[in-house]
């Protein structure tokens, strides 16, 4: 990325309200506004960096971005070419084989990218770094940029989740060594934690044993979420049992002690914590392994479910947890507290009751002579 590219408005001496000498420095100042929320910061940095890298070979900066460029950029997000330059496996940012994409972005991910970049340009306009926000000229701006309209689709339906959990529960063979048994128990704990408490990936990575505590006979999980907000989440009996089994493997007593130090999820040495990238790879590798197992077991009839598992990312587990809680009848206000959403309409995206009722009523409309048949 050419961090020295200077905005034309800066060179022309126009009103500038930030101390920046290049696009990269201006973007860095925007990103600094989100330093209290590491997960948001990482997501916003990724999208801004992709845009700067896309502009670089064109010899242009942010101030030269125009409305007609946005369609080309969205097409690029859908198919970054050439693949060898843009797409690669997870690597540290400064590794020689690092790439900005893991693969083409889905429509939802492209929409989210545009939402983030719209916010970036709104800030840059206020900062006097660029003259206008090209995203405001998009005719279908509402459809593209309102990311709260559609319901949640990236989750595992209950039958698929139940199969996945039963697969995770399958005991190891008698020939398995201690390392394999440790990894098996850790994987169960990781997926159980994600499903039962609906944490974000970064929240699992930073979870400490002492964050689980008891008050008046009830167990809670204390979590610091987005924006540094502290919340507490009820810990169900299944999570407490799973945590106890994991702690036994670690050589600890079954229940956490007040103020106990040490990460919940740990490396193979049983001591050090796992970072976001390590957890991401563990979950993705598990989804891929499960997909191959389901394909081998069920074959062609299960290929749609196999594809879902192959596409699943760690955040699907949070979506799955919240969707299943909504389907189980958890009230919206409690669901919003578990999700730690600032707006109820964000949480309402996990409610699929309207879709179910719509589909039920629509089934009464059919062709003559075929009443009662279902698809």
Q: Count other C-beta atoms under 10 Å from residue 73's C-beta.
A: 19
> Got the DSSP string for 72-106?
HHHHHHHS-SSHHHHB-----TTSTT--SBSSPPP
Taking CA atoms, 203 is separated from 37, 314, 340, in Å, by 11, 12, 12
Q: What pLDDT is attached to residue 77? A: 93
The H or E element that residue 52 is part of is helix 38-55
Sign of CA dihedral 31, 57, 95, 311: positive
Q: What pLDDT is attached to residue 149? A: 47
What's the CA gap between 286 and 309, in Å, rounded? 9
Percent helix, strand and coil across the chain, each rounded to 5? 55, 5, 35
Q: What pLDDT is attached to residue 148? A: 47
Q: Count other C-beta atoms under 10 Å from residue 206's C-beta.
A: 19
Q: Count other C-beta atoms under 10 Å from residue 50's C-beta.
A: 22
Q: What pLDDT is attached to residue 92? A: 87
Q: What pLDDT is attached to residue 224? A: 86
Q: Which domains does the chain have, with CATH numbers?
A: 8-145 (1.10.150.130), 158-357 (1.10.443.10)
Pairing of strands 230-234, 218-224: antiparallel
Sheet holding 212-215, edge to edge: 212-215, 218-224, 230-234
Q: What pLDDT is attached to residue 355? A: 59
Q: What pLDDT is attached to residue 150? A: 53
- Specify the 3-state DSSP secondary structure of 4: coil
Residues of the chain falling short of pLDDT 70: 1-14, 139-152, 227, 342-367, 369-375
DSSP state of 263: B
What's the CA gap between 169 and 173, in Å, rounded? 12
The H or E element that residue 294 is part of is helix 276-298
Does residue 263 contact residue 209 with C-beta atoms inside 8 Å?
A: yes
- pLDDT tens track for 187-229: 999 999 999 999 999 899 999 999 999 999 999 999 987 767 8
Instruction: Report how far Cα 138 is from the mean position of its chain's Cα atoms.
Output: 27
Spatial neighbors of 337 by CB under 8 A, at least 6 apart, are: 231, 233
Residue 219 dihedral angles phi and psi, to the nearest 5°: -100, 140
Q: How many helices (H) and strands (E) does the chain have?
A: 17, 3
Does residue 211 contact residue 261 with C-beta atoms inside 8 Å?
A: no
Q: What pLDDT is attached to residue 140? A: 60
């Amino acid at each position: 990325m050419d961090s020295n590219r200077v905005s034309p408005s800066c060179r022309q001496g126009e009103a500038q309200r930030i101390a920046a000498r290049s696009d990269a420095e201006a973007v860095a100042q925007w990103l600094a506004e989100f330093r209290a929320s590491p997960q948001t910061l990482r997501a916003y940095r990724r999208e801004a960096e992709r845009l700067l890298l896309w502009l670089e070979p064109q010899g242009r900066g942010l101030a030269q971005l125009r409305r007609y460029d946005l369609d080309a950029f969205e097409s690029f997000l859908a198919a970054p070419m050439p693949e060898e330059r843009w797409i690669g496996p997870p690597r540290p940012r400064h590794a020689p084989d690092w790439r900005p994409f893991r693969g083409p972005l889905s429509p939802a991910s492209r929409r989210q990218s545009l939402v983030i970049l719209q916010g970036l340009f709104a800030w840059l306009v206020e900062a006097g770094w660029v003259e206008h926000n090209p995203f405001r000229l998009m005719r279908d701006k509402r459809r593209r940029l309102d990311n709260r309209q559609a319901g949640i689709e990236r989750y595992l339906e209950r039958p698929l989740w139940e199969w996945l959990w039963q697969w995770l529960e399958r005991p190891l063979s008698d020939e398995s060594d201690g390392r394999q048994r440790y990894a098996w128990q850790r994987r169960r704990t990781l997926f159980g934690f994600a499903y039962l408490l609906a944490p974000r990936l970064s929240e699992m990575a930073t979870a400490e044993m002492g964050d689980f505590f008891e008050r008046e006979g009830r167990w809670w999980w204390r979590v610091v979420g987005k924006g540094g907000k502290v919340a507490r989440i009820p810990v169900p009996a299944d999570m407490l049992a799973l945590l106890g089994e994991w702690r036994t493997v670690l050589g600890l007593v079954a229940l956490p002690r007040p103020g106990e130090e040490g990460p919940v999820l740990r490396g193979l040495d049983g001591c050090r914590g796992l970072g976001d990238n390590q957890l991401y790879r563990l979950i993705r590798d598990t989804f891929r392994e499960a997909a191959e197992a389901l394909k081998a077991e069920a074959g062609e009839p299960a290929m749609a479910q196999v594809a879902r598992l192959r596409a699943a990312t760690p955040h699907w587990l949070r979506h799955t947890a919240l969707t299943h809680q909504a389907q189980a009848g958890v009230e919206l206000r409690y669901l919003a507290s578990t999700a730690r959403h600032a707006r109820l309409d964000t949480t309402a995206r996990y409610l699929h009751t309207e879709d179910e009722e719509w589909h039920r009523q629509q089934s009464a409309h059919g062709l003559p002579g075929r009443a009662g048949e279902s698809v």
